[in-house]
Homo-oligomer: A and B are copies of this chain.
């Protein structure tokens, strides 16, 4: 195993400083500071040195030295992770932020090769310039990076049509824990020459190596997107509606409960309710179609059917770019809106889509029995079964005073929710990953055969435990 954290002037740290260009490292606490906290203020870190290599060769040099000195490394992308996987506790911190180059865009092969430090937003812009689409969208896309979204297998709103990040990657370039460079960059859709090694790094949270670049899959741009927001009565109706709307054009199916929807439109500037009266639940859908006319025809037919089946109370089709963006904005602000509901205990889980109603029935009852009066705000990606099941503290005259006592129940509520998720065949981490936050939970709850395999892979790839050693396995 890797040795304990090294000090600022240990031989290993000195070797790094001697081997790397001056721009590729710093020990300046002011420069390092923002890399040691994250936006939820849950994790605070420390490191003897921040490495900022500009090339894959510099990453390889750095990792080789760390391996020789058995110094553990924490890789960091845009520092937007939600489970503490990017925060060092004495390890060497390696940020990919200077490796931002788009190496190649190939619209014929529908492929783009880009370095790990490029933001998701930069990927969108490069794809757009080639008249192509990269379908992953996240609220953090201005900050989060390719290396981070690949390492955490980020999800988002379009998974029901395009899959999670790992489905959007042809291959990666990665520096292995011994400093060797694995080159899996390719735009080949068919290549049956061995195990899918690139895939091992996707969702591995930096525990098997450091992704330095990737070839991403691009898609033809849909010519038109028809966006519809619907007011509906219940979670059961949401699932029934999903089945009716399902088809090759359906690219998004997001659901929000009234309490979360109201927290946005009532509190956040420029947000407004597109409906004339409140509804228990809201659904936001996108249909990728050839033309505005085709979209209107498709949506009209689908809605007629859904109204006839009693599944929809009201519906609005976006008629302009402004309306399109306004509808999306409500969904994007769901997390921000919940800050107006006080303390929030957050869960990121998946259940099989057909079990969503049963999940809500059981989970709502379970959390109420732990904290009577607490307010579940389960929203998100029903189209792929992923629910951000957040629980707001009970309404009271003194929310601020009661906040900490409520948040102290985090683990109790998590365990109750995870029990239900496990019983339904779901996942305790849908898209945020394991990191530090859920490492113990995974070790306790995962099938022992799976857990043993995870550890066998980790040991085979990183026998000295250099790579992000406190994370995941």
Question: Are A457 and B454 neighbours in the complex by a CB distance under 8 Å?
Answer: no
Question: Are B447 and A183 neighbours in the complex by a CB distance under 8 Å?
Answer: yes
CB-defined interface of A290-313 with B at 8 Å, one 1/0 digit per residue?
100010001000000000000000
Question: Are B108 and A194 neighbours in the complex by a CB distance under 8 Å?
Answer: no
Query: Within 8 Å of chain B (Cβ to Cβ): is A191?
Result: yes
How many Å from the CB of A34 to the closest CB on chain B? 25
* Contacts A183-B449, A298-B290 given; does A204 touch B193 at CB 8 Å: no
Q: Which residues of B contact A298 (CB under 8 A)?
A: 290
A190 CB contact (under 8 Å) in B196, B200, B381, B453? B381
A193 CB contact (under 8 Å) in B192, B242, B434? B434
Q: Which residues of B contact A427 (CB under 8 A)?
A: 186, 188, 190-193
Cα–Cα distance between A108 and B357 once the two chains are bound (Å): 13
How many Å from the CB of A458 to the closest CB on chain B? 8
Question: Are A190 and B456 neighbours in the complex by a CB distance under 8 Å?
Answer: no
Q: Which positions 210-265 of chain A face chain B at CB distance < 8 Å?
A: 219-220, 222-223, 239, 242-243, 246-250
Q: Which of A159, A204, A450 has the most CB of B within 10 A?
A: A450
How many Å from the CB of A416 to the closest CB on chain B? 19
* Contacts A186-B425, A220-B246 given; does A453 touch B197 at CB 8 Å: yes
Q: Which residues of B contact A183 (CB under 8 A)?
A: 447, 449-450
A189 CB contact (under 8 Å) in B152, B160, B450? B160
Question: Are A239 and B354 neighbours in the complex by a CB distance under 8 Å?
Answer: no
Cα–Cα distance between A286 and B69 once the two chains are bound (Å): 57
A354 CB contact (under 8 Å) in B106, B182, B446? B106
The dominant DSSP class at the A interface is loop
Cα–Cα distance between A204 and B384 once the two chains are bound (Å): 28
Query: Within 8 Å of chain B (Cβ to Cβ): is A180?
Result: yes
Q: Which residues of B contact A428 (CB under 8 A)?
A: 193
A108 CB contact (under 8 Å) in B166, B353, B434, B438? B353
Query: Within 8 Å of chain B (Cβ to Cβ): is A164?
Result: yes
Knowing that A109-B352, A159-B189, A192-B433 touch, tell me 5 more A-B residue pairs with CB under 8 angstroms: A166-B196, A186-B425, A187-B353, A190-B427, A195-B457
| 20 residue pairs A–B, Cβ–Cβ below 8 Å | A108-B243, A109-B385, A182-B449, A183-B447, A184-B450, A188-B350, A188-B425, A188-B426, A192-B427, A192-B433, A193-B434, A194-B442, A194-B450, A194-B454, A195-B204, A195-B457, A197-B454, A220-B247, A220-B248, A290-B294
